Amino acid sequence: MIKIAPSLLSANFAKLGEEVVNITKANADYIHLDVMDGSFVPNITFGSDVIKSIRPYSNLPFDVHLMINNPDQHIKNFADAGADIITVHAEASIHLDRTLSLIKSFNKKAGVSIVPSTSEDVLDYILDKVDLILVMTVNPGFGGQQFLNSQLQKIYNIRNKIINSQRNIDLEVDGGINLNTYQNVIKAGANVLVSGSYIFANTDYSHAIASLKKI
């Protein structure tokens, strides 16, 4: 089953709680929260305090994507704030196995993300600890970028790794997901689609979310 995770990066920050309520009512599956530190990526968004403040507005899983350096220092704060899934970047964690174990020590699902220039082979030795793999199909840091078709083969390769692992791992894709790209992403093997600009630019969130599930 295809799951849709609207990215609040494209929401109206002046009424963030209301946006969370509306996207929940529109039958989203996850709430995707992009945390950026201005170091690992060029932009800065929000931290654990903001996530804690909007947690009461939805009972959906909070899918927290840490685009930050030194993630180990902050994982507890995001776990305490109400994250259900905490995803770190393979490029930002030197001791990735230890970082994933830390996430799981808080009874949270652990995710790993890789940027477009990173090979999927970095995942080979941590598949036993991940619950979600996030493939970036744009260079992270900004919303509204153009989808990189070069990542479709990577998505396909990772799906095969998941099959071979015999584990139930979500394969999530983030970046440039819209009506022109989503079907190819699903065909390549993704089952969770992150979409920000496309969904929040639509006046009918429910229709936008449903449109990304049509095979």
* Residue of 29, 34, 37, 131 marked catalytic: 34
- Segments in the chain forming alpha helices (H): 16-25, 48-54, 75-81, 96-105, 152-165, 182-188, 197-200, 205-211
Asked if residue 87 lies in contact with residue 65, where contact means CB atoms within 8 angstroms, the answer is: yes
Is there a catalytic annotation at residue 84? no
Q: Based on the number of CB atoms within 10 Å of its own CB, is 201 exposed (0-12), middle (13-18) or buried (19 or more)?
A: exposed
The token pair at 25 is 């009512």
Cβ-count burial of 204 within 10 angstroms (0-12 exposed, 13-18 middle, 19+ buried)? Answer: exposed
Q: Are 106 and 79 in contact (CB under 8 A)?
A: yes
Angle at the Cα of 178 (from 149 to 37), degrees rounded to 5? 80
Q: What is the DSSP letter of 118?
A: S
Classify strands 62-67 and 31-36 as parallel, antiparallel or unpaired.
Answer: parallel
The one-character DSSP state at 115 is -
Choose, from 29, 63, 131, 174, the residue flagged as catalytic: 174
Give catalytic status of residue 80 as yes or no.
no
Q: Are 46 and 67 in contact (CB under 8 A)?
A: no
| Residue numbers annotated as active site | 34, 174
